[in-house]
Structure 1
């Protein structure tokens, strides 16, 4: 998994405590001020660090917010609930709960919108959030294969494509449900979604 913050620059050593304080302050500012009101100066004050300390770590507001939101998604864990379907339900419920948090909702929507005009920002979102969280798909597939629920992998390229597709389907559906449609991804919706994911459209009426 990649580091949660940008690579260190030459000079003074990085402080993990300062990084954590800055990212926490960023999320707090997102809740209280929203995307438009958040400034690097305010974040530095909240974190108790000099503004220059913040600029040594992040080039600007966009990069800072991406890393602050990415840290939330690093809280996701793959539960062992006895079956592939139950495991996926557990992850999706966690994901929906994170997206319900105002700092995640405000930050993610803002940086995704900004990334439509900024290729570097889009790449950072992919690296810091998307690629890091594909670990859950990898772990879930391996566990399901050990249980005999999925066939073993024989083609690495096909496996990589499958991982990408599974992640896109799950993340896309949950983000659309919670952030675009503004509907709850509650236990009933998650159960029905996972049934469709595993069994196809015929399960949609269940």
Structure 2
């Protein structure tokens, strides 16, 4: 299911502020060489993530699901010099690629990678965050959500990707469909937060902790 016509999506890209050349290179490399290139955050969502970090004044960011590092670098752009972004992933080969791009960016020093199952990393983190971005294995979205919310500061923002899952949440059948639908149900009834679901790309759930 396409939520926006391809031509409209391309128009939106054209009239969205450009990302740095390094991010363009990373996007092109990912699209050309990675078998799961559709996992790339991309220009529109990447610029949105940067803007959300800037608007919230975030100094600490948590990311669950790094892939090739496009989203991490996008958010790190808006962090102050003493800002910190912790990104979690389990793919060592992809992490090597991301590290290479981080090392070439003036913002890469703000990013640290935790190579371990994210739920394990979350249980060991003894700090809170201003903003979190969740874009990892969908089957564990409920567990990730429950682990992230206590780590968010009051008025902190959680950004959840793929919350519409190509429309499969309308009639969820597969495990991933059901998990995403469940987390959407949980969020809208959770008294700790307020949220809005956006039809940007594959759906973004913006969740603000009270």
TM-score of the pair, normalised by structure 1: 0.28
More strand by percentage: 2
Pick the structure with greater CA Rg.
1
TM-score of the pair, normalised by structure 2: 0.28
More helix by percentage: 1
